[in-house]
Homo-oligomer: A and B are copies of this chain.
Protein backbone atom coordinates (compact mmCIF):
# COMPACT_ATOMS: atom_id res chain seq x y z
CA UNK A 1 0.00 0.00 0.00
CA UNK A 2 1.30 3.40 -0.96
CA UNK A 3 1.61 5.93 1.83
CA UNK A 4 -0.72 8.21 -0.09
CA UNK A 5 -3.46 5.58 0.09
CA UNK A 6 -3.37 5.25 3.85
CA UNK A 7 -6.10 6.63 6.06
CA UNK A 8 -3.60 8.98 7.58
CA UNK A 9 -2.10 10.21 4.34
CA UNK A 10 -2.64 13.83 5.25
CA UNK A 11 -0.86 13.67 8.58
CA UNK A 12 2.70 14.87 8.88
CA UNK A 13 3.48 12.53 11.77
CA UNK A 14 2.47 9.49 9.86
CA UNK A 15 3.93 10.48 6.51
CA UNK A 16 7.25 11.55 7.93
CA UNK A 17 7.72 8.41 9.95
CA UNK A 18 6.73 6.14 7.11
CA UNK A 19 9.29 7.79 4.86
CA UNK A 20 12.00 7.72 7.51
CA UNK A 21 11.48 4.00 8.03
CA UNK A 22 11.66 3.37 4.32
CA UNK A 23 14.85 5.38 3.97
CA UNK A 24 16.33 3.73 7.02
CA UNK A 25 15.69 0.32 5.52
CA UNK A 26 17.44 1.27 2.30
CA UNK A 27 20.37 2.62 4.27
CA UNK A 28 20.65 -0.50 6.42
CA UNK A 29 20.90 -2.56 3.26
CA UNK A 30 23.66 -0.32 1.90
CA UNK A 31 25.72 -0.52 5.08
CA UNK A 32 25.54 -4.30 5.35
CA UNK A 33 28.87 -4.87 3.60
CA UNK A 34 30.67 -3.28 6.56
CA UNK A 35 28.38 -4.88 9.13
CA UNK A 36 27.42 -1.58 10.68
CA UNK A 37 24.14 0.23 11.07
CA UNK A 38 23.94 3.54 9.23
CA UNK A 39 24.25 5.52 12.48
CA UNK A 40 27.36 3.63 13.48
CA UNK A 41 28.71 4.09 9.98
CA UNK A 42 28.18 7.82 9.91
CA UNK A 43 29.60 8.21 13.37
CA UNK A 44 32.69 6.25 12.43
CA UNK A 45 33.23 8.32 9.29
CA UNK A 46 33.01 11.45 11.38
CA UNK A 47 35.71 10.15 13.70
CA UNK A 48 37.91 9.11 10.78
CA UNK A 49 37.66 12.54 9.21
CA UNK A 50 38.15 14.39 12.46
CA UNK A 51 40.40 12.43 14.83
CA UNK A 52 39.95 13.36 18.45
CA UNK A 53 36.49 14.74 17.91
CA UNK A 54 34.54 15.20 21.14
CA UNK A 55 31.46 13.24 22.11
CA UNK A 56 29.36 16.38 22.42
CA UNK A 57 30.38 17.50 18.97
CA UNK A 58 29.32 14.13 17.60
CA UNK A 59 25.94 14.43 19.28
CA UNK A 60 25.43 17.88 17.79
CA UNK A 61 26.32 16.81 14.29
CA UNK A 62 24.37 13.59 14.35
CA UNK A 63 21.53 15.39 16.13
CA UNK A 64 21.32 12.63 18.66
CA UNK A 65 21.18 12.83 22.45
CA UNK A 66 24.46 12.43 24.32
CA UNK A 67 23.21 9.20 25.87
CA UNK A 68 22.54 7.80 22.43
CA UNK A 69 26.02 8.73 21.28
CA UNK A 70 27.48 6.97 24.32
CA UNK A 71 25.63 3.83 23.30
CA UNK A 72 26.88 4.04 19.73
CA UNK A 73 30.44 4.61 20.92
CA UNK A 74 30.23 1.63 23.27
CA UNK A 75 29.41 -0.65 20.39
CA UNK A 76 32.10 0.76 18.12
CA UNK A 77 34.60 0.34 20.92
CA UNK A 78 33.55 -3.28 21.42
CA UNK A 79 34.21 -3.82 17.74
CA UNK A 80 37.67 -2.27 18.16
CA UNK A 81 36.89 0.44 15.65
CA UNK A 82 37.38 3.39 17.99
CA UNK A 83 38.93 4.28 21.33
CA UNK A 84 37.60 6.81 23.78
CA UNK A 85 39.94 8.99 25.76
CA UNK A 86 38.54 10.80 28.77
CA UNK A 87 40.21 14.07 29.73
CA UNK A 88 38.51 15.79 32.61
CA UNK A 89 34.85 15.97 31.84
CA UNK A 90 35.37 15.67 28.10
CA UNK A 91 35.64 12.53 26.03
CA UNK A 92 37.50 12.46 22.73
CA UNK A 93 37.30 9.73 20.16
CA UNK A 94 39.92 8.24 17.84
CA UNK A 95 39.66 5.67 15.09
CA UNK A 96 41.75 2.51 15.33
CA UNK A 97 43.84 1.11 12.50
CA UNK A 98 41.13 -1.42 11.87
CA UNK A 99 38.73 1.44 11.26
CA UNK A 100 41.22 3.25 9.05
CA UNK A 101 41.44 0.19 6.83
CA UNK A 102 37.69 0.17 6.60
CA UNK A 103 37.49 3.72 5.29
CA UNK A 104 37.32 2.91 1.56
CA UNK A 105 34.52 0.40 2.20
CA UNK A 106 32.65 2.96 4.31
CA UNK A 107 32.91 5.51 1.54
CA UNK A 108 31.53 2.97 -0.88
CA UNK A 109 28.50 2.45 1.36
CA UNK A 110 27.75 6.14 1.43
CA UNK A 111 28.19 6.32 -2.33
CA UNK A 112 25.97 3.32 -3.00
CA UNK A 113 23.28 4.70 -0.78
CA UNK A 114 23.41 8.06 -2.48
CA UNK A 115 23.22 6.45 -5.90
CA UNK A 116 20.34 4.26 -4.85
CA UNK A 117 18.04 7.07 -3.88
CA UNK A 118 19.22 9.64 -6.34
CA UNK A 119 18.60 7.22 -9.19
CA UNK A 120 15.12 6.46 -7.91
CA UNK A 121 14.27 10.14 -7.55
CA UNK A 122 16.53 11.82 -10.06
CA UNK A 123 19.57 13.78 -8.90
CA UNK A 124 17.83 17.12 -9.22
CA UNK A 125 14.74 16.08 -7.30
CA UNK A 126 16.67 14.28 -4.61
CA UNK A 127 18.95 17.23 -3.92
CA UNK A 128 16.16 19.73 -3.76
CA UNK A 129 14.15 17.37 -1.60
CA UNK A 130 16.95 17.20 0.94
CA UNK A 131 17.10 20.99 0.94
CA UNK A 132 13.38 21.14 1.44
CA UNK A 133 13.70 18.83 4.45
CA UNK A 134 16.18 21.23 6.00
CA UNK A 135 13.96 24.23 5.49
CA UNK A 136 11.03 22.47 7.07
CA UNK A 137 13.09 21.11 9.93
CA UNK A 138 14.51 24.52 10.73
CA UNK A 139 11.05 26.06 10.85
CA UNK A 140 9.60 23.50 13.24
Chain B residues with Cβ under 8 A from A127's Cβ?
Answer: 10
Asked if residues A140 and B3 are in contact (CB atoms below 8 Å), the reply is no
Asked if residues A130 and B20 are in contact (CB atoms below 8 Å), the reply is no
Interface residues in A1-38 (C-beta closer than 8 Å to B) = 1-4, 6-24, 26-27, 38
- Rounded to whole angstroms, the CA-CA distance of A21 and B129 in the bound complex is 18
Instruction: Tell me the smallest distance from the CB of A63 to a CB of chain B, in Å.
Output: 5
- Rounded to whole angstroms, the CA-CA distance of A60 and B1 in the bound complex is 6
Interface residues in A46-80 (C-beta closer than 8 Å to B) = 46, 60-63
Asked if residues A4 and B134 are in contact (CB atoms below 8 Å), the reply is yes
Q: What would be 20 A-B contacts, judged by CB atoms less than 8 Å apart?
A: A2-B134, A2-B138, A4-B137, A4-B138, A9-B130, A10-B127, A11-B113, A11-B130, A12-B23, A12-B129, A13-B23, A13-B27, A13-B38, A13-B42, A15-B137, A23-B140, A121-B136, A121-B139, A121-B140, A129-B136
